Amino acid sequence: MIEVLASRNGPSVIRLDGRYLASSIDPIREAASWAERALRASGDKPTIFVVGVGCGYHVAALKALARSEKHVIAMDPSSQIVKHALMFNPTLDPSDIVVEIDKLKWTANQHICDALLGEPFAIVTHAPTAQIHPEWVKETESFLLAREKTSFLLQLRLRPELFAHLDPKKIEAMGNETVSIKTLQSLFRGNGLADRQNPADSRERRIWRVLEELVL
Amino acid sequence: MKILVISLLRVGDLAMTAPVLRDLRASLAPGAKLDLLVNSQSLQVAKLLPSIDSVHVFERDTIQKGLGDPAVPFFESYERLSSLLDVLNAQSYDTVINLTHTRLSGWIASLVQANRRVGLSFDQEGKATFGSNWFRYLNAQVEADGKDIFHYNDVFRFALGVQPSGGDAFKETQEGKEEAQAILAKKTNPESSLICVQALTSDTKKDWNLKSYARALKAFNERHSNVAVAVLAAPFEEQKLKPFVEDLRATGIDAFIAVTSFAGAFSLLKKSKLLITLDTSIKHLAAAAHTPILEVCLGSSDPYRTGAYRDGAVVVSSKETCAPCVHSRACHRERRFCDEKIPSDAIAMLASELYEKRSFQLSMIAESYGESIEVRRVRLKDAPFWTLGGIEESFTEANVGRLIDLTSRKIWLSGLNRSVDGVGHEIFTLSRMLRSMYPKTSEIEWRHVLSDFERQLMMIEGRVNSFKTGIRVLHGAYEDTTKLGEFVRGLIALREKIKPSPLMTSFKISLDQAIEDDISPAFTRFRRITDIVNEIDKRATITLRIIRSLGQQLDSANEAEHL
């Protein structure tokens, strides 16, 4: 059950099934502190995925702190929560928030796809959301990391140039271990030379060649 | 013209190649752009290179970490590398020069669009390309040991076709000067001279024990009491060096630890009258700062490839037969004998000579301690290539033959044999070097050695001609393993014949490549054998020409005398 309450310092907060999604005392101050830590943790990465929208204060604080230097995308499983967050934070742009509960549909979301490709990104998690939706948070993080089989295969859909170099039979036979560069090495077609079947994509294969050499 | 140089090895390797980059810049037309791609650790050295316009950074550690860390998105390393390549390709380079010579750098070189590539790269089919005979040679040299090889800087210079130019390989920065000033302020006597000491390396196998080092500095101090000693150190080395420095100070030496950046170290070296060092990148800074260098070479240090690129630098190493040892392995002996056998007195005396800019006692010191150490000196000025030889190199077939062989190899690899002037110039430079090295050698001794060399080469020419006939016969039958095996046995016999000759060391190395390849398919093997026989044939012609030219110069000298 969603309840909208006033915090001690004034701004509204959401209580969902008895759990606060932000500080019941000073959610703005908490959000500012969270945003500083998140920005620091993101390092030089130009994009930040925020897993869990909650009351939206931390997302708004992060966007304000990062200004135009970082692209912030927030994700949440609940459209109702997001609706309230947008009300509490008029500066938040709805297009920067993705509401989707089904990970299989994330790769259909252009916003997510654009953020996943081209530049490194950081993942920061909203702890109250993790307490309320632990499975969803875990799946979202896993999807973004692409370190387990399903999420790796989902993200592979976004990379047809890479996919063209891989052997479908080997993909099918893939195990469930954490995805690493060695996993990818084992999926490539042929004997590891530039893929003669896909010469147009040899840039892709060569980049992975460089990465393989780093691991050797 | 836009050029990208890829230098992804260690900081010391980049520092070493600074003169090459300077010479490359000097060879370019005004307005040409020369950029550098380095690892992030090398950035502080890259910023000191006046020859470079822009520096791009390969975030090796971050990318490598990202691959192995499950908390980092899997594709992040790919995106980082891809972004870097986009930035590089936006520059539209005409030429990519890869000085790194690793598979990693070769793949990166292949990904940067350019009309021309020099150094290791990979073609469309994933096969290695070198863009120059010199880089192909480098590929083979990696396996070679001993002194019959070219310094890496020479390989790069000759591959790029650049001549030595004047000018600074490094530039002093304001920050570096200020750092150096702050360190010099530690001197007890501001008027005293300064020497720098590099006491530690990144590899304990290359370290000289600090007790012996201290003894050497104390003995040096007995002769030169008004000299301050700056012990160069990285921040994490400071604690380890404190007792060493305190020990020196307790005997009255004005010694202090100098923790500096590369910029600060360079400025400090410019004010220093001597650097005593182990095998570290600091020696390359000292070479560029024109500071006299005394290097103690231990463990896996290999001065023939990476020695200080400065005329007159002195290198001391022990005569232990296991030196240089394998880089990546721990010392296999019960004690580090190479370390123990370096006499502190010898180092002190050599340091004194270099400090005073004298050289007449160097050979006496080398001889006195000749049982335990080898003392060698770099020759670079007015020489066809960098060499490291005895202080007074004795006139032997081995020493002369080696230099002729290197010259012949240089002519061959540079393609100079196609031009009369090219060969003539190299022979002239070699001749000048030989005359300065052996001023007292009599004409009779020269003629004896040269005629012996000529005889050896004529024997080779005869054998090579018969191999060329053999190749024509083998041409249609190389799949026949018996016939191919017989041919290879002939090559083995030739190799045994030339093994003792220092004049033909490189011929032997080439023959090794033909003989020891027993895994390639028959056609590939046959082609390699053909190439090597042709190479030896041409090389023998070049070497013979050198020897006859040297002989003719003796004749000319005689005529001049008689006139």
Q: How far is B179 from chain A (nearest CA, A)?
A: 30
pLDDT digits (tens, 9 = 90+) for A64-105: 999 888 999 999 999 999 999 999 999 898 888 888 878 778
Q: Residue B516's pLDDT band (boundaries 50, 70, 90)?
A: confident
Let me know: does B169 contact B262? Beta carbons within 8 Å.
no
Chain B residues near residue A155 by CB distance under 8 angstroms: 74-75
Helix (H, G, I), strand (E, B) or coil at B149: coil
Phi-psi region of B131 (alpha: psi -120 to 50; beta: other; left: phi over 0): left
pLDDT digits (tens, 9 = 90+) for B202-234: 888 899 999 999 999 999 999 999 999 999 999
- Average pLDDT of chain A to the nearest whole number: 89
Q: At residue A178, does pLDDT exceed 80?
A: yes
For chain B, the farthest-separated pair of C-alpha atoms sits apart, in whole angstroms, at: 85
Q: At residue B21, does pLDDT exceed 80?
A: yes
Let me know: does A58 contact A27? Beta carbons within 8 Å.
no
Residue A42 tokens read as 């993101």
- The torsion defined by the Cα of B181, B184, B188 and B192, in degrees rounded to 10, comes to -110
The pLDDT value recorded for residue A198 is: 46
Distance, CA of B454 to CA of A137 (rounded, Å): 81
| Nearest-CB residue to A155 (from B75, B110, B122) | B75
Chain B residues near residue A180 by CB distance under 8 angstroms: 67-68, 70, 74
Q: Residue A194's pLDDT band (boundaries 50, 70, 90)?
A: very low
Mutation site, A48, A209, A212, A216, interface B, largest B CB count within 10 A = A209
Residues 6+ apart with CB under 8 A from A150: A103, A142
Q: Residue B477's pLDDT band (boundaries 50, 70, 90)?
A: confident
| B94-103, B281-290, B432-441, range with the lowest pLDDT | B432-441
Whose structure tokens read 């943790």? A41
Q: At residue A192, does pLDDT exceed 60?
A: no
Mutation site, B6, B8, B62, B75, interface A, largest A CB count within 10 A = B75
Do the chains contact at A117 and B71, CB–CB below 8 Å? Answer: no
The sign one gets for the Cα dihedral B206, B209, B212, B217 is: positive
Let me know: does B202 contact B10? Beta carbons within 8 Å.
no
Let me know: does B466 contact B487? Beta carbons within 8 Å.
no
The pLDDT value recorded for residue B522 is: 80
Smallest Cα–Cα separation from B170: which of B276, B267, B307?
A: B267
Residue B391 tokens read as 């202080």
Q: Please state, in angstroms and as integers, the Cα–Cα distance from residue B103 to each residue in B1, B41, B61, B438, B477, following that order.
A: 26, 20, 17, 43, 35
Q: Is A155 on the interface with B (CB under 8 A)?
A: yes
- The torsion defined by the Cα of A95, A101, A103 and A109, in degrees rounded to 10, comes to -20
| B28-32, B115-119, B196-200, B466-470, range with the lowest pLDDT | B466-470
Q: At residue B25, does pLDDT exceed 50?
A: yes
Q: Is A121 on the interface with B (CB under 8 A)?
A: yes
- Please name the amino acid found at residue B399: N
Q: How far is A123 from chain B (nearest CA, A)?
A: 9
Q: Is A178 on the interface with B (CB under 8 A)?
A: yes
Let me know: does A86 contact A78? Beta carbons within 8 Å.
no
Alpha helices in B235-343 (DSSP H): 238-250, 262-270, 282-288, 303-306, 337-340
Smallest Cα–Cα separation from B253: which of B296, B218, B202, B303?
A: B218
* Average pLDDT estimate for A17-36: 94
Residue B541 tokens read as 């012609």
Q: At residue A40, does pLDDT exceed 90?
A: yes
Q: Residue B143's pLDDT band (boundaries 50, 70, 90)?
A: low
CB neighbours of residue B138 within 10 Å: 23
| Nearest-CB residue to A147 (from B60, B74, B124) | B74
The pLDDT value recorded for residue A201 is: 46
| A32-46, A64-78, A181-195, range with the lowest pLDDT | A181-195
Q: How far is B521 from chain A (nearest CA, A)?
A: 17
The pLDDT value recorded for residue B253 is: 96
pLDDT digits (tens, 9 = 90+) for B324-354: 777 767 777 777 878 888 999 999 999 999 9
- The size of chain B, in residues, is 563
The edge-to-edge listing of strands for the beta sheet with A121-125 is A97-99, A71-76, A47-51, A121-125
Let me know: does B260 contact B183? Beta carbons within 8 Å.
yes
Taking chain A, what is the end-to-end CA distance rounded to the nearest angstrom? 53
